[in-house]
Amino acid sequence: MKKIIIIGATSGIGREMAIRYAALGRQVGITGRRTELLENIQQQYPTNIFIKTMDICQDKATEDLQALIDEMNGVDTIFINSGYGKESFPLDASAEMQTVATNALGFTNMIIFAYNYFRTQPKGHIVVTSSVASVRALRQSPAYSATKRYMRHYVDCLAQLAHHEKLSIRFTTLIPGFISTEFLREGNNYPLVISLDKACNTIFKAIEKKKRAVYLPFRWNFVVALWCLIPKWIWERYC
Which residues are annotated as catalytic?
144
Cβ atoms of 36 and 110 closer than 8 Å: no
CA–CA distance, 122 with 187 (Å, rounded to integer): 49
**3-state secondary structure at position 213:** strand
Q: Phi/psi class of residue 166: alpha, beta or left (left: φ > 0; alpha: ψ in -120 to 50)? A: left
Q: Which among 218, 176, 222, 185 is positioned nearest to 17, based on CA atoms?
A: 176
CA–CA distance, 214 with 207 (Å, rounded to integer): 10
- If you ran DSSP here, which 8-state letter would residue 211 be given? -
Going from the C-alpha of 147 to that of each of 6, 129, 221, the distances in angstroms are: 20, 11, 20
CA–CA distance, 75 with 204 (Å, rounded to integer): 17
